[in-house]
Structure 1
């Protein structure tokens, strides 16, 4: 059995200063837990693989390409590879979401 406690998971450095924890890292999938405090964001960037975000708590403004959408708890957003995207905390409480990278 493989069990990871989020508060004990490896924290990785990132250019945004966000709290990013690696929950699972395998050859073809990576799962991370991201916490953004009010006012924080993962600024526009691209990834070379398809990814998804799944909102656990809070309110996010998600940009994918030229589109933007507000996303709350229990919403999944697909992030196609090589497409600029950003995630901003759009609320007054911490935003928590999973990032699942494929490939």
Structure 2
């Protein structure tokens, strides 16, 4: 059995300077827990793989390509490979979400 506690998971360095924890790293899938304080963001970037985010706590503005949408807890957003995307915490509370990288 594989069990990991988020608070004990490895903290990953990232160009956004935010709290990213590696919950699972396997050959074809990676699961990261991202915590954004109010005003923090994963700035616009692209990735060479498909991914999705799942909001656990808080509210976010998610940008995929030219589209923006406000999302909240219990929402999934698909992020296609090679399409610019961003996630911003524009609220007053902490935002937590999973990032699942496929492939």
TM-score by length of 1: 0.99
Residue deviations 1:38-84 (CA, integer Å, cap 9, x gap): 00000000000000000000000000000000010000000000000
Q: CA RMSD in A?
A: 0.4
Gapped regions of structure 2 (runs ≥ 5): none
> What is the alpha-carbon distance in structure 2 between the residues aligned to residue 91 and residue 2 of structure 1?
34
Question: Which residue is equivalent to 1:23?
Answer: 23
> What is the alpha-carbon distance in structure 2 between the residues aligned to residue 38 and residue 90 of structure 1?
6
Aligned counterparts, 1:22-61, within 5 A: 22-61=22-61
SS in 2 for 1:91: coil
> What is the alpha-carbon distance in structure 2 between the residues aligned to residue 90 and residue 59 of structure 1?
8
Residue deviations 1:15-37 (CA, integer Å, cap 9, x gap): 11110000000000000000000
Question: Which residue is equivalent to 1:75?
Answer: 75
Gapped regions of structure 1 (runs ≥ 5): none
SS in 2 for 1:7: helix
TM-score by length of 2: 0.99
Q: How many residues align?
A: 103
